[in-house]
Amino acid sequence: MSRKQAFQFLDLPRTMPQRIPVELRTSGDWGELYGKFGKEDAQFQAGRCLDCGNPYCSWKCPVHNAIPQWLQLVQENRIHEAATLCHSTNPLPEVCGRVCPQDRLCEGSCTLEEFGAVTIGAVEKYIVDTALATGWRPDMTAVEPTGKRVAVIGAGPAGLACADQLAHAGIQAVVYDRYEQIGGLLQFGIPSFKLDKAVISRRRNVLEGMGVQFRLGVEIGRDVSVDQLLAEYDAVFVGTGAYRYTDGGLLGQDLKGVLPALPFLVQNSRIVGGSDAHGRPIAGWEDQIALPDLDGKRVVVLGGGDTGMDCVRSAVRLGAAKVTCAYRRDEASMPGSAREVANAREEGVRFLFNRQPLSIEAGADDEVIGVMVVETQLGAPDASGRRNAVPVEGSESLLEADVVIIAFGFSPSTPAWLIERGVEAGHNGRIIAGGQGRLPFQTAHPRLFAGGDAVRGADLVVTAVAEGRDAAASIAQLLSA
Ligand code: FAD
Ligand code: SF4
Ligand 2 atom closest to Cα of 64?
Answer: 4
pLDDT (0 to 100) of residue 6: 57
Pick the ligand that lies closest to the CA of residue 221: 1
CATH superfamily of 149-243+412-480: FAD/NAD(P)-binding domain (3.50.50.60)
**Which residue spans of the chain are classified as CATH 3.50.50.60?**
149-243+412-480, 246-409
How many angstroms does the Cα of residue 283 sit away from the middle of ligand 2? Answer: 33
Q: Mean pLDDT in the chain?
A: 91
Ligand 1 atom closest to Cα of 222?
Answer: 18
Q: Among 267, 459, 461, 462, name the best residue to mutate to test ligand 1's pocket (greatest count of ligand atoms within 8 A of Cβ).
A: 461
User: Is pLDDT above 90 for 336?
Assistant: no
pLDDT (0 to 100) of residue 365: 86
How many angstroms does the Cα of residue 141 sit away from the middle of ligand 1? Answer: 32
**Which residue spans of the chain are classified as CATH 1.10.1060.10?**
3-133
Per-residue pLDDT averaged across 244-252, rounded? 88
**Going by CA atoms, what residue is nearest to atom 4 of ligand 2?**
61
> Cβ atoms within 10 A of the Cβ of 21, count?
10
Pick the ligand that lies closest to the CA of residue 412: 1
pLDDT digits (tens, 9 = 90+) for 198-223: 999 999 999 999 999 999 999 999 99
Q: Which of 241, 29, 76 is nearest to 152 (CA)?
A: 241
How many angstroms does the Cα of residue 61 sit away from the middle of ligand 2? Answer: 5
How many angstroms does the Cα of residue 15 sit away from the middle of ligand 2? Answer: 17
pLDDT (0 to 100) of residue 8: 62
In the chain the first and final C-alpha atoms are separated, in Å, by: 47
**Which range, of 63-67, 311-315, 363-367, 404-408, averages the lowest pLDDT?**
363-367
Ligand 1 atom closest to Cα of 157?
Answer: 51
Q: What CATH number was assigned to the domain covering residues 246-409?
A: 3.50.50.60
Residue 183's pLDDT band (cuts 50, 70, 90): very high
Per-residue pLDDT averaged across 101-123, rounded? 94
Residue 5's pLDDT band (cuts 50, 70, 90): low
CATH superfamily of 3-133: Alpha-helical ferredoxin (1.10.1060.10)
